[in-house]
Structure 1
């Protein structure tokens, strides 16, 4: 798999002169679905992370996840130039419900959101989708992150389980793989471009 750090050259720290549009994207999902991993995989700058170690104080409050010992408590941030003229600024939200009050501020000015889901814990995504629709009203695409032990369901079955509209994009992604993650973001941008919010922000 591609290494995110191998793509961060000195020249990649600055926007290319051909970039005409800077687009804000909100990366959302439940706890432990791979938001931080996706941003770290694609970012052409050193990503900003606000991760803290999970302590016993979160027991009974946050969902338990084996092999996960850190969590985002404010936001993640990265940047990726997806076409010659469009750069995405990625803002990753915390997954725990107790941090959801941050969403409104982070969503301000965003034109779209990839909603990352884990088929091992698909039920955790219902509240996230409700939160996104109620608080932000921005276009979104659903991203099924492929973990090594995730059940492999047909995407249309996942669509039905999440009660998505027919026009809502749903894609599979390996958040650790840069090419896979970039293609996911391109799918989101293509979807967002059909909405007035994209044209308004980039007018």
Structure 2
């Protein structure tokens, strides 16, 4: 659950930097959950009900009854001086053409993966590489029934460059999710300043 009720809706006057972050991943990996967990404003959702028209088109994910069709949007202020604007992409392949527009101006992309369906992330990473040149960090969403793998093994399985951050977090937990976003932003800023390889 987001923290909109306990945080101010207006941007604090002390904020000196705004940073746009793209949150991407396959269908049902937890992108909406991530943004909802950290957003200090009421999260913008563009969710629709999953219907029988998606049978054979989208993966069947048990109890998942809604899906993002345009984007999710939230805001998180870090340290009182940096505002992160979070743009979550739709997970279904047929909506991926929206990614280019959503990526415009972003400092980096956070790729959410589910180790129960790691193969679904291959196309996501290919699409991200094709549509953008953003720095990337990967977060393994620790679903309760998901197999646990060392982060280096996941990096290898996804064929990520050695400097790519890979972290594990329960994306329902605000503190863990904030840490993930800090990792991405720090990586993106280091890459931008030329201190790490792409």
TM-score (norm 1): 0.92
**What is the alpha-carbon distance in structure 2 between the residues aligned to residue 157 and residue 170 of structure 1?**
10
1:95 partnered with 2:67: no
Which residue pairs with 2:2 in the alignment? 4
1:80 partnered with 2:79: no
**Aligned residues between the structures:** 194
Which residue pairs with 2:178 in the alignment? 182
Which residue pairs with 1:145 in the alignment? 141
- The counterpart of 2:160, out of the listed 158, 164, 167, is 164
1:36 partnered with 2:19: no
Which residue pairs with 2:58 in the alignment? 62
Residue 66 of structure 1 aligns to a residue whose secondary structure is coil
Q: Whose helix fraction is larger, Structure 1's or Structure 2's?
A: 1
Which residue pairs with 2:115 in the alignment? 119
**What is the alpha-carbon distance in structure 2 between the residues aligned to residue 97 and residue 12 of structure 1?**
35
Instruction: Report if the CA contact (8 A) 1:33-1:116 is conserved.
Output: yes
1:130 partnered with 2:126: yes
TM-score (norm 2): 0.95
- Deviation, 1:17, is 1.4
Contiguous gaps of at least 5 residues in structure 2: none
Higher relative contact order structure (alpha carbons within 8 Å, sequence separation ≥ 6): 1
**What is the alpha-carbon distance in structure 2 between the residues aligned to residue 24 and residue 107 of structure 1?**
9
- Deviation, 1:194, is 1.4
- Aligned pair in 2 of structure 1 residues 115, 14: CA closer, same or farther (>3 Å)? same
- Deviation, 1:8, is 3.0
